[in-house]
């Protein structure tokens, strides 16, 4: 295998690592939240992927439950699945910081260590997991796939009904 | 056939020789030979087209239909020669029936906005098929909203074919316009245009054919097809983008009001009232896509210079080879298996989203389209959110189909 071919193969492995494939095939919390306080549909007009994110935020501003269901590629479904796990029981404000970190990981602006430094140490394990989404940084057209669920959640929190990947 | 094309000898079809005509095919992507299987989205350009456009810009460029100087006259002659090449290529009766547009989408919008607005009354019906892509759906929705007309959809069969009987069920006395693809961009299905034209004309409706994919794979004779409008784009026909063609019967163009206002399309302008130029100028407001039109003319010359019957047989061979080989890859299912098909093949792989497939294939140098192919309603009918699609042009080879198959095996490994 040539050096370039090896790099390409490694890029693919980094994108489709086991954790991503596992969450892509067996998404956690692929349902609708009961008594949701916010709901939004996300849509990637490029590929037609659609996702519905629902969440219940309590009076203290904490995510009691987050769920995402829809159709999409391995990257968007895995990202949605990991998002629902990472955000449960987190204050909404911290959740927004997590999104910020994920977005920067996916575009290659920061590495895992920098992402950890942005957030409380209790989230280190979750950040390790979410960092697997960072493989998309070598595939610019796929960044939107990874961020779609997060944008959808954000528009749900901000009281908008819909999100599209045109906001990256 | 134009005088120029007639003087050129027709080459025997040799795919290795054809490939030499397309400079991009010798490049590599990701360190692998480029395997370009997305010509249905936009085809690559032969050297002859690139040279003609460079020549037009470098030596013979000025605005058309305006200048009283030699260079403008030369540019006008070249631009109008391209119109004549298009006329001959589709066997239209007169070059005044050839309107240059920005593309096929623009051509369909022109018909919807001009002819549609002229004839449609509340309750009138526009008939489409379930396999149309967005550019032959949305312009009709816009005009239906404005006129109170209603859109009716002819369903497709499970294999992607369309039965003439289903058209007969939907086309009725209220039908004013029937608008269908010549060839489906997703399924490859070739529609029975002559029969659809007969059904349309029996009730006094006009038939628009979206020829984007159709004109690429077969010799089109608009008079034999019997349609009233035929729209296509240059960039899928090995020509440049930003140029499209609307062919319409002369009497229709004469009756239709202008689509856009501006220079070029007028006879006399006063602030009280303006009068229109005759077609096709009436529909070409503003400075037209001069050099892209010349490039399209060069693409037509190029195609006239090869044995198109042999080229079509070559494409059919690639399609049949791909249809035989693809299902041998575990989990791969063909989407669109109608009897009469052009060389476009959609497929899915169990457990792998088409978008992920396309990403992995790309790293093997293989370019396929993944997604809804601008045909979301069709995806709903097929019960999928997306498919992967390989489309074959005159320059593709069996070896490239093999490369696709090898890459699909690799994709299975990566994605399972």
3-state secondary structure B270-307: CCCCEEECCCCHHHCCCCCCHHHHHHHHHHHHHHHCEC
Residues B42-60, mean pLDDT to the nearest whole number: 98
- What are the CA-CA distances from residue B295 to residues A63, B86, B187, B239 (Å)? 59, 11, 29, 6
User: Three-state DSSP class for B264?
Assistant: coil
Q: Minimal CA–CA distance to B252: which of B273, B282, B214? A: B282
User: Three-state DSSP class for B251?
Assistant: helix
DSSP B329: S
Nearest-CB residue to A5 (from B31, B360, B414): B31
Residues B213-230, mean pLDDT to the nearest whole number: 97
A47/B31 Cβ within 8 A: no
Q: How far apart are CA A23 and CA A9, in angstroms?
A: 21
Q: Residues B16-49: pLDDT tens digits? A: 999 999 999 999 999 999 999 999 999 999 999 9
At residue A164 the predicted structure's pLDDT band, cuts being 50, 70 and 90, is low
A9/B356 Cβ within 8 A: no
Residue B340 host element (H or E): none
List of chain A residues whose C-beta atoms are within 8 Å of the C-beta of residue B352: 74
DSSP string, B121-144: -TT-EEEEETT--GGGTHHHHHHH
Q: How far apart are CA B373 and CA A126, in angstroms?
A: 36
- CB-CB contact of B384 with B335 (8 Å): yes
At residue B1 the predicted structure's pLDDT band, cuts being 50, 70 and 90, is very low
Check residue B2 and give its pLDDT.
Answer: 45
List of chain B residues whose C-beta atoms are within 8 Å of the C-beta of residue A145: 355
At residue A168 the predicted structure's pLDDT band, cuts being 50, 70 and 90, is very low
Q: Report whether pLDDT(A6) > 90.
A: no
List of chain A residues whose C-beta atoms are within 8 Å of the C-beta of residue B353: 72-74
Check residue B262 and give its pLDDT.
Answer: 87
- What are the CA-CA distances from residue B58 to residues B53, B65, B71, B169, B291 (Å)? 8, 19, 12, 55, 11
Nearest-CB residue to A47 (from B351, B363, B370): B370
Domain count for chain A: 1
Q: Is B409 on the interface with A (CB under 8 A)?
A: no
Do B52-304 and B307-415 share a fold? no
Q: How far apart are CA A130 and CA B338, in angstroms?
A: 44
B residues 333-372 lying closer than 8 A (beta carbon) to A: 351-356, 359-360, 363, 370-372
N-to-C CA span, chain A: 35
Residues B131-159, mean pLDDT to the nearest whole number: 97
List of chain B residues whose C-beta atoms are within 8 Å of the C-beta of residue A12: 359-360, 363, 414
Among the residue ranges A64-78, B123-137, B264-278, B357-371, the one predicted with the least confidence is B264-278
Q: Where are the domains of chain B?
A: 52-304, 307-415
Given CA atoms B203, B208, B211, B212 in this order, what sign does their dihedral have? negative
Residues B401-407, mean pLDDT to the nearest whole number: 98
A73/B355 Cβ within 8 A: yes
At residue A14 the predicted structure's pLDDT band, cuts being 50, 70 and 90, is confident
Nearest-CB residue to B386 (from A47, A139, A142): A47
List of chain A residues whose C-beta atoms are within 8 Å of the C-beta of residue B371: 46-48
Check residue A53 and give its pLDDT.
Answer: 95
Check residue A62 and give its pLDDT.
Answer: 96
B356/A48 Cβ within 8 A: no
At residue B7 the predicted structure's pLDDT band, cuts being 50, 70 and 90, is low
Q: Residues B106-122: pLDDT tens digits? A: 999 999 999 999 999 99
B32/A47 Cβ within 8 A: no
Cross-strand bridge partners of residue B96? none
Which one has a higher pLDDT value, B10 or B167?
B167
Q: Report whether pLDDT(B9) > 90.
A: no
Among the residue ranges A32-41, A81-90, B2-11, B69-78, the one predicted with the least confidence is B2-11
Q: Report whether pLDDT(A166) > 60.
A: no
Nearest-CB residue to B30 (from A8, A21, A49): A8
Q: Is A49 on the interface with B (CB under 8 A)?
A: yes
At residue A158 the predicted structure's pLDDT band, cuts being 50, 70 and 90, is confident
Check residue A93 and give its pLDDT.
Answer: 95
CATH code of the domain occupying B307-415: 3.90.1150.10
User: Three-state DSSP class for B100?
Assistant: strand
In chain B, the residue whose alpha carbon lies closest to the alpha carbon of A4 is B31
CATH code of the domain occupying B52-304: 3.40.640.10
Check residue B85 and give its pLDDT.
Answer: 98
A2/B414 Cβ within 8 A: no
In chain A, the residue whose alpha carbon lies closest to the alpha carbon of B371 is A47
By percentage, how much of chain B surpasses pLDDT 70? 98
At residue B8 the predicted structure's pLDDT band, cuts being 50, 70 and 90, is low
Q: Report whether pLDDT(B4) > 60.
A: no
A9/B363 Cβ within 8 A: yes
Q: Residues A34-87: pLDDT tens digits? A: 999 999 999 887 777 889 999 999 999 999 999 999 999 999 999 999 999 999
A residues 73-112 lying closer than 8 A (beta carbon) to B: 73-75
Check residue B68 and give its pLDDT.
Answer: 85
B379/A4 Cβ within 8 A: no
Give me the active site residues of B, please. Answer: 374
Q: How far is A17 from chain B (nearest CA, A)?
A: 9
Check residue A1 and give its pLDDT.
Answer: 60
List of chain A residues whose C-beta atoms are within 8 Å of the C-beta of residue B30: 4-5, 8
Q: Is A14 on the interface with B (CB under 8 A)?
A: no
Count interface pairs A-B at CB distance under 8 A: 60
Check residue A161 and give its pLDDT.
Answer: 64
Q: Residues B325-337: pLDDT tens digits? A: 999 999 999 999 9
Tokens of A48: 């037609």
A145/B30 Cβ within 8 A: no
What b/e readout covers A143-159, taking b as 16+ CB neighbours within 10 angstroms?
Answer: bbbbbbbbbbbbbbbee
Check residue A44 and give its pLDDT.
Answer: 84
Q: At what angle do helices B398-415 and B308-325 cross, to 10 degrees?
A: 30
Task: State which residues form the domain around A56.
Answer: 3-167
User: Three-state DSSP class for B349?
Assistant: strand
Check residue B264 and give its pLDDT.
Answer: 81
Check residue A167 and give its pLDDT.
Answer: 46
Check residue B176 and give its pLDDT.
Answer: 98
B385/A50 Cβ within 8 A: yes
CB-side exposure of A107: number of CA atoms within 13 Å?
9
Q: Could you give the ipTM of this predicted complex?
A: 0.88
Q: How far is B408 from chain A (nearest CA, A)?
A: 14
Mean pLDDT of chain B: 95
Check residue B3 and give its pLDDT.
Answer: 47
B370/A8 Cβ within 8 A: no
């Amino acid at each position: 295998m040539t050096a370039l071919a090896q790099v390409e193969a490694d890029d693919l492995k980094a994108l489709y690592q086991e954790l991503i494939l596992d969450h892509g095939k067996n998404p956690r919390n692929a349902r609708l939240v009961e008594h949701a306080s916010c709901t939004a549909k996300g849509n990637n007009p490029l590929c037609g992927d659609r996702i519905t994110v629902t969440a219940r935020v309590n009076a203290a501003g904490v995510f009691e439950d987050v769920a995402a269901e829809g159709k999409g590629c391995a990257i968007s479904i895995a990202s949605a699945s990991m998002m629902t796990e990472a955000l449960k029981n987190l204050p909404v404000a911290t959740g927004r910081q997590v999104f910020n970190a994920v977005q920067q990981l996916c575009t290659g602006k920061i590495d895992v260590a920098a992402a950890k430094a942005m957030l409380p140490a209790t989230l280190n394990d979750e950040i390790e997991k979410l960092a697997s989404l960072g493989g998309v940084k070598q595939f610019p057209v796929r960044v939107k796939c990874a961020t779609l669920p997060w944008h959808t959640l954000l528009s749900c929190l901000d009281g908008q009904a819909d999100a599209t990947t045109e906001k990256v | 056939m134009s005088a120029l094309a007639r003087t050129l000898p027709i080459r025997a079809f040799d795919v290795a020789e054809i490939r030499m005509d397309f400079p991009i095919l010798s490049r590599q992507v990701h360190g692998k030979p480029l395997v370009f299987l997305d010509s249905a989205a936009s085809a690559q350009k032969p050297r002859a087209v690139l040279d003609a456009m460079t020549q037009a810009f470098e030596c013979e460029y000025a605005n058309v239909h305006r200048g009283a100087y030699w260079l403008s006259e030369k540019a006008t002659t070249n631009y109008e020669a391209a119109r004549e090449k298009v006329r001959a290529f589709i066997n239209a009766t007169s070059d005044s029936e050839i309107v240059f547009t920005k593309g096929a989408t623009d051509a369909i919008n022109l018909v919807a906005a001009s002819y549609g607005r002229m004839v449609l009354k509340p309750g009138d019906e526009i008939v489409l098929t379930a396999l149309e892509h967005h550019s032959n759906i949305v312009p009709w929705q816009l005009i239906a909203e404005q006129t109170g007309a209603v859109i009716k959809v002819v369903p497709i069969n499970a294999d992607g074919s369309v039965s003439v009987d289903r058209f007969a069920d939907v086309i009725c006395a209220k039908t004013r316009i029937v608008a269908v693809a010549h060839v489906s961009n997703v399924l490859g299905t070739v529609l029975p245009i002559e029969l659809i034209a007969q059904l349309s004309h029996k009730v006094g409706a006009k038939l628009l054919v979206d020829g984007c994919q159709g004109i690429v794979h077969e010799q089109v004779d608009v008079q034999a097809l019997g349609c009233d409008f035929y729209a296509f784009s240059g960039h899928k026909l090995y020509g440049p983008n930003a140029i499209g063609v609307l062919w319409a019967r002369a009497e229709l163009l004469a009756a239709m009001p202008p689509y856009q206002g501006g220079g070029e399309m007028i006879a006399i302008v006063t602030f009280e009232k303006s009068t229109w130029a005759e077609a096709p100028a009436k529909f070409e407001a503003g400075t037209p896509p001069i050099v892209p039109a010349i490039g399209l003319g060069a693409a037509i010359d190029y195609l006239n210079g090869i044995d198109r019957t042999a080229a079509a047989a070559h494409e059919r061979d690639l399609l049949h080879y791909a249809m035989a080989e693809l299902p041998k890859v575990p989990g791969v299912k063909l989407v669109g298996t109608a009897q009469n098909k052009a060389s476009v093949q959609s497929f899915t792989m169990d457990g792998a989203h088409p978008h992920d497939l396309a990403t992995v294939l790309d790293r093997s140098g293989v370019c396929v389209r993944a997604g809804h192919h601008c045909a979301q309603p069709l995806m709903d009918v097929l019960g999928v959110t997306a498919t992967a699609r390989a489309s074959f042009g005159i320059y593709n080879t069996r070896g490239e189909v093999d490369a696709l198959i090898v890459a699909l095996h690799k994709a299975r490994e990566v994605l399972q």
